[in-house]
Amino acid sequence: MATNFDNYFKSAFTVDNVIFGFDEGDLKVLLIKRGEEPHIGEWALPGYFVKTEEDLDAAAKRVLSELTGLTNVYLEQVHAFGSVNRHAFGRVITVSYFSLIKIDNYIIQPSSIALQAQWHTVNGLQHLAFDHDTILESCLQRLKWLVKTRPVGFELLPPKFTLTELQHLYEAILRCPLDKRNFRKKILSMNLLVDCDETQEGVAHRPAKLYKFDRKRYNKLVEQGFNFELKETPIKIKKTVEVSS
């Protein structure tokens, strides 16, 4: 029986970029307000169709640049989403990419179908267009795994940071409060932080020590078999029992 290959060439492909940043104690994601149907006027991940002559990685970089103005951003492929009815125009399969960037290092310039492009706090998001809630959650789980197995979290902080800022970053990504004493003990025991012999300036509270990440030492330790592992140490909430008289 002859195969009708035309039946297999009726699908389109898109790429969706999940760009994370950390600012003022919050984990944020870059979203665009769509300027075309479907879901016109709704917030969505920066994504669009893949051209017939380009590969997926090239498409992800092009789409991100066209919609937000961001260039020279490292993108890592995460997952493919192919629910039959995920797009109103027909069968559309999307491949998600994600990245971590320092918000202050980039200027957002929306264009093409993006009416706006803004950073949004992840925890305060409402419903996104298409199945982008699911895509975002998938990338969040990937990020959560990464920060516990690699020191990627340091890429979201300024070159010099306090231990409190570092803890707030991990709490924002892991989405749970961490025990301060255990967190600091674990981080400092890795010997990956350099004491800058400086303290914060211009703060109302007692200035805290500043540290920086020693990437050269980390790379050397990895060559020797070092395993970066940061387990969650949530705060234990004491239960109170009411005793009736």
The predicted-structure confidence for 148-162, as pLDDT tens digits, reads as follows: 899 988 888 989 999
Looking at 104, 123, 148, the residue that finishes a domain is 148
Mean pLDDT (whole number) for 82-86: 95
CA-atom Rg of the chain in angstroms: 22
Q: Tell whether 62 and 75 lie within a shared domain.
A: yes
This prediction's pTM: 0.88
Question: What's the gap between Cα 194 and its chain centre?
Answer: 26
Residue 237: predicted pLDDT: 45
Give percent of the chain above pLDDT 70. 93
Burial of 19 (0-12, 13-18, 19+ CB in 10 A): buried
Q: Tell whether 90 and 196 lie within a shared domain.
A: no
CATH number at residue 213: 1.10.10.10
Q: Residue 116: which pLDDT band, with cuts at 50, 70 and 90?
A: very high
Looking at 148, 172, 207, the residue that finishes a domain is 148
Print the domain residue range for 63: 10-148
**Is residue 138, in this structure, part of any structural domain at all?**
yes
How do strand 12-23 and strand 26-34 relate by DSSP bridges? Answer: antiparallel
In the chain, the number of structural domains is 2
